[in-house]
Structure 1
Amino acid sequence: MRAARSSAVTAIAAVASLAAVSGCAEKSDAKGSDAIRITASDDACEVSRTTFPAGHVKLAVENKGSKVTEVYVYAPGDRIVTERENIGSGLKANITAEIKAGTYEIACKPGMKGHGIRQKITVTGGKTAKRNPKLDKAVADYRAYVQAQADETLPKVQEFVDAIKKGDLEAAKKAYAPSRVGWERTEPVAESFGDIDPKVDLREDGLAKGQKWTGWHRLEKSLWKAKKITAEDKKLADQLVKDLKDWQKRVGTADITPTGMANGAKELLDEVQTGKVTGEEERYSHTDLVDFEGNVDGAEKSYQLLEPVAAQNDPALTKDLDKRFAAVKKLLDTYREGDGFVSYDTVGQAKRKELSDAVNALAEPLSKLAAAVAK
């Protein structure tokens, strides 16, 4: 969940260092005339051109502020078209995205929180991006994957909710983490709608003023911290099913592109770095490693579907990504226990830094995948 960032930034510093977080951004010196330059600072978001043609768009971001920032391209309704998180102070990052004609907003978010500093942009009718048929297949296969993840999630959520409604605390705890796996694998697609994620996956410190807290983490707090199930919790459980059925119904309509898949894979690694490695995501249940695996699985799925084209265009990149994915998964395997993972509160700071370094080593080359498939 991306909404709660302020505490996550502080927590990351305790795990690794700001330099490690900043490393998630691609160190880029892109100065191509075809790139839209975005200069982010603590109080501004400057865009070199506010009108440009549709197609494969290159964004060259530079963070001149003192805070870690993130950059979003929003369609109307705050639907996320593309984004890049964890761009450290003084660093640059390249984003390649396929953007259709229309009106959008570019947002820079110093401190990685809030509504962001926004600039309106207009994308005019341009040439339709010529696409390798293999990429059309990748998109179709990924669309089937995200739908399958949603379809498989609902029965697991129902099991979790049924336990809550029966007042069975231990059964609800056991069902909690498995109910989240499909969501974690496909989170960028769910978040692209803008309105579902805050209902189901928001942490308490991410609440806007006056916003009611609903979803998994609200129930997580009741189960592990309050250690009791209330009548209100039972109502919230029903609401969770309702909201996730909305996600299940809508996920097949998501706007999916090859570059969107690639950028989504990078976003999932950012999720690991800013929420799972720090212990922020599952602060009461300490089931962070289950979410960690879900994010990595989802990122790897996108990569595997795009790999046939990426390997043609940039074989050195895919060779590196194969090695980096294997390293992260091998390290994660050392924390397995029974059918799941050890409780994350038993993982010390040195081990958390080891996980952070492995994720960071994967995230850097993964940030180049979109450019590789867009060649």
Structure 2
Amino acid sequence: MKPLDLTALAGSAAALTLLLAGCGSSDTSSTGANGDTKADGPIAVDAGDKKCGVATTDLPAGRHTFKVTSSSSQVTEVYVYADGDRIVGEVENIGPATSRDLIVDLPAGTYEVTCKPGMVGNGIRTKIAVTGAEAPAQTLDQNLQAAVDSYRTYVETETRALIDTTKTFTDAIAAGDLDAAKTAYPTARLHYERIEPIAESFGDLDPLIDMRIDDATDGTPFVGFHALEQLLFEKGTLDGAKPLASALTTNVAKLAELVKTVEFTPLVMGNGAKSLLDEVAKSKVTGEEERYSRIDLVDFAGNVDGAKYVYTALRPALEEKNPKLVATLDQRFPALISLLDTHLATKGSDGFIPGSPYVSYDALTPEDVKALAVEVDAISEPLGQISGVVAAQ
């Protein structure tokens, strides 16, 4: 299949467009299917540790503003999912007691507003019903183009979140606050791992951000996230951390600029999804990635999130081309994420790491590790079929 023109068929991605605004957004209305402004204003969403309360669950088709307020004790994110967990809107990095607006276009159908305290897992879900004008039927090429446009938005959103969370991490280092830096580390890692194949496509930039000590030589110093991880978690010091943190901030900013130049295609997306699961099998299940902090399950979850996004974005096209594959992946992703959810941590529990939603890798038993490996193996083969399906177009 030839790479799709990213400027073509732009209208097919309209339903996937999300606008992220701060607390001071002036958009305080929803519009119905006929375009009339409704007087009832934004739809309140209470994103808590154990709830995802949506003030109104029956809506007319059209553009809606969800006013998300976090009552969670953790950083959270909120998604609006269509069938098959296809993301039609998302807002990330909502701190405790803060609010963000999520503006999304919703044709008629059934959706789920999903809150993810800790920004991981299957989330807490509330169904909403939208009635009125249905979205027009899309051709295969339009579905593929919509997937490409959606994934570009996702990668750019995750990169912005990576910049923000890396800044929180490096600001704590600059302030000399060891505990705050350790707590901020897992969230920045989550956003990096979600887009890891894209970062790896930029040659020397990925090692500068994500290299391991095994790759360091006399001529190649140990730098990036893991060099800081070693100082903070193994050595318990910030001595020498400031220049490393400054370089990391610079390189993450470079990554954000380079992401804008990537030519995304369905084939690039499919290969990237398989690469993410290969990363899980190679270094996350084995506990090799985060050898000092032991937050390997955070990286695991980030890779799974990134792979799942690719799949759900391509799902409408895959459903037309290979419905059997869709049925398989619709089962395998929730099963893997549910298994990960069994290792979520609470403050004071065994294996709790401040800032990490999951227990320490050291808290896993050999049986736990084997079960995770089995689920990864079960999803890896069908996920690898995606590239062949979209390439055959």
- State the distance in 1 between where 2:374 and 2:218 align: 35
How much has 1:206 moved relative to structure 2?
2.1
Q: Which amino acid aligns with 2:208?
A: K
- Partner-residue secondary structure (3-state), 1:164: helix
Q: Deviations over 1:219-276 (max 9, x none)?
A: 000011111111x211100100000000011111112110110110010001111111
Q: Is the 8 A contact 2:194 2:303 kept in 1?
A: yes
- State the distance in 1 between where 2:186 and 2:205 align: 19
Specify the alignment match of 2:278 in structure 1. 270
Specify the alignment match of 2:243 in structure 1. 235
Specify the alignment match of 2:320 in structure 1. 312
Is 1:259 equivalent to 2:267 in the alignment?
yes
Is 1:189 equivalent to 2:206 in the alignment?
no
Is 1:173 equivalent to 2:182 in the alignment?
yes
Q: Deviations over 1:284-308 (max 9, x none)?
A: 0000111111110000000001011
- State the distance in 2 between where 1:210 and 1:345 align: 33
Specify the alignment match of 2:231 in structure 1. 222
- Aligned with residue 162 of structure 2, among 145, 153, 160: 153
Specify the alignment match of 1:346 in structure 2. 363
Specify the alignment match of 2:335 in structure 1. 327
- Partner-residue secondary structure (3-state), 1:331: helix
Q: Deviations over 1:92-124 (max 9, x none)?
A: xxxxxxxxxxxxxxxxxxxxxxxxxxxxxxxxx
Specify the alignment match of 1:364 in structure 2. 381
- State the distance in 1 between where 2:274 and 2:236 align: 36
- State the distance in 1 between where 2:207 and 2:385 align: 29
Is 1:249 equivalent to 2:257 in the alignment?
yes
Q: Is the 8 A contact 2:140 2:320 kept in 1?
A: no
- State the distance in 2 between where 1:347 and 1:140 align: 38
Specify the alignment match of 1:280 in structure 2. 288
How much has 1:55 moved relative to structure 2?
4.9
Structure 1 residues 131 and 210, CA gap change in structure 2 (3 angstroms) = farther
- Partner-residue secondary structure (3-state), 1:256: coil
Specify the alignment match of 2:101 in structure 1. none
Structure 1 residues 208 and 263, CA gap change in structure 2 (3 angstroms) = farther
How much has 1:371 moved relative to structure 2?
1.1
TM-score (norm 2): 0.61
Q: Deviations over 1:199-230 (max 9, x none)?
A: 00000002355111110000000011111111
- Partner-residue secondary structure (3-state), 1:253: coil
How much has 1:341 moved relative to structure 2?
0.6
Q: Which amino acid aligns with 2:223?
A: T
TM-score (norm 1): 0.64
- State the distance in 2 between where 1:264 and 1:329 align: 19
Q: Which amino acid aligns with 1:298?
A: G
- State the distance in 2 between where 1:165 and 1:290 align: 24
- State the distance in 1 between where 2:202 and 2:162 align: 18
- Partner-residue secondary structure (3-state), 1:270: helix
- State the distance in 1 between where 2:218 and 2:147 align: 41
How much has 1:132 moved relative to structure 2?
1.3
Spell out the pairing of 1:4-83 with structure 2 (5 A cutoff): 55=2
Q: Which amino acid aligns with 1:285?
A: S
Q: Deviations over 1:117-150 (max 9, x none)?
A: xxxxxxxxxxxxx971211111111111100101
- State the distance in 2 between where 1:203 and 1:351 align: 25
Specify the alignment match of 1:78 in structure 2. none
Specify the alignment match of 2:372 in structure 1. 355
How much has 1:164 moved relative to structure 2?
1.0
Specify the alignment match of 1:142 in structure 2. 151
- State the distance in 1 between where 2:280 and 2:362 align: 16
Q: Which runs of 4+ in 1 moved over 3 A?
A: none
Q: Deviations over 1:14-40 (max 9, x none)?
A: xxxxxxxxxxxxxxxxxxxxxxxxxxx
Larger Rg: 2
- State the distance in 2 between where 1:271 and 1:221 align: 21
- State the distance in 1 between where 2:294 and 2:159 align: 23
Specify the alignment match of 1:80 in structure 2. none
Specify the alignment match of 2:103 in structure 1. none
- State the distance in 1 between where 2:344 and 2:279 align: 20
How much has 1:151 moved relative to structure 2?
0.6
How much has 1:157 moved relative to structure 2?
0.7
- State the distance in 2 between where 1:221 and 1:163 align: 16
Is 1:295 equivalent to 2:303 in the alignment?
yes
Segments of structure 1 that go 5 or more residues without pairing to the other structure are 1-53, 57-129
Return the structure number with greater helix share: 1
- State the distance in 1 between where 2:320 and 2:372 align: 30
Tell me: higher relative CO, structure 1 or 2? Use CA pairs within 8 A at least 6 residues apart: 1
How much has 1:282 moved relative to structure 2?
0.2
- Partner-residue secondary structure (3-state), 2:214: helix
**Identical-residue share of aligned pairs (%):** 43
Using the TM superposition, name which of 157-166 and 200-209 deviates more: 200-209
Q: Is the 8 A contact 2:140 2:317 kept in 1?
A: no
RMSD over aligned CA atoms reads: 1.6
